[in-house]
Chains A and B, each alone.
Chain A
């Protein structure tokens, strides 16, 4: 199976699983906020390794079953 996911699919996951999240670009990384928490190290690539997404999901407290349904963790 692929060890990475397209950013477009990650964004779909965030839209469904992390309602109210914000997403912006910093100089080196993407910055995601959700649940009054901040994840500022999501890579800016078009395809992102699953380890980054798993960590973001854990850190922000995103529903893991929901994220799994999107196939990005």
Chain B
């Protein structure tokens, strides 16, 4: 079995004598991902809108699958035969988790509190995400396949956060500009 607790990144420079470094590669098992998701969730006597700007690690494991490990929120993982499938399954798992929280919440305030707790309760993968981001930035190179086609974003431009809003209010004004598309992108240099 692969040891998942050995150092998660290695940086391989290729200096050659006194010559300038002509080639550098950054090999990272963990790839830092940024995600944006929006859901409308029905609960016991309330309708809630949940908009997330989160973080995750994508990693190819020894089972041959791509695994997407949550960072914000942390307590979630899913896999797929490629990174797109892993994201879609992660996204579905996240939605089901919101459904479970709604089912267990007596009112909107309880729902919001538990969703926020779920989002902000971190683990050691948060540090791994930072290490992976620094590896990407120190290499200053394009992300490897299959990430090269994904949009690249600076984490500073989209801080991790979650918004839980009650939608069934009389003063709530709905606007098309509130709509948010599901996305996942590669965290890159600012």
- A: which residues have CB within 8 A of B? 1, 3, 26-29, 31, 37-41, 49-52, 54-56, 58-59, 61, 64, 73
Contact across chains for A52 and B63 when beta carbons are under 8 A apart: no
Contact across chains for B96 and A28 when beta carbons are under 8 A apart: yes
Contact across chains for A41 and B97 when beta carbons are under 8 A apart: yes
* Count of chain B residues near A, Cβ 8 A: 29
- Cβ-defined partner of A29 (8 Å) among B5, B62, B100: B100
Binary flags per residue of B90-102, CB closer than 8 Å to A gives 1, else 0:
0001001101110
User: In whole angstroms, how far apart are the Cα atoms of A50 and B103 in the complex?
Assistant: 28
- Whether, in the assembled complex, B121 has its beta carbon less than 8 Å from a beta carbon of chain A, the answer is yes
The listed residue with most B CB atoms (<10 A of its CB), out of A1, A40, A73, is A40
Give the residues from 43 to 74 in chain B that come closer than 8 angstroms, CB to CB, to chain A. 61-63, 65, 67, 69-70, 74
- Cβ-defined partner of A37 (8 Å) among B4, B76, B103, B121: B121
Chain A residues in 8 Å Cβ range of B76: 41, 55
Contact across chains for B75 and A38 when beta carbons are under 8 A apart: yes
Chain B residues in 8 Å Cβ range of A73: 4
- Cβ-defined partner of B77 (8 Å) among A3, A27, A28, A41: A41
Give the residues from 94 to 135 in chain B that come closer than 8 angstroms, CB to CB, to chain A. 96-97, 99-101, 103-104, 117-118, 121, 123-125
- Whether, in the assembled complex, B79 has its beta carbon less than 8 Å from a beta carbon of chain A, the answer is yes
A-B contact pairs, 12 of them (CB 8 A): A1-B1, A3-B63, A26-B100, A27-B99, A29-B100, A38-B121, A49-B63, A51-B61, A55-B70, A55-B76, A55-B77, A59-B125
User: What is the chain A residue whose CB lies nearest that of B118?
Assistant: A40
10 closest pairs, A vs B, by CB? A3-B63, A55-B77, A28-B96, A26-B100, A59-B123, A51-B67, A41-B76, A39-B75, A59-B75, A58-B123
Contact across chains for B79 and A51 when beta carbons are under 8 A apart: yes
Contact across chains for A55 and B69 when beta carbons are under 8 A apart: yes
User: What is the chain A residue whose CB lies nearest that of B95?
Assistant: A28
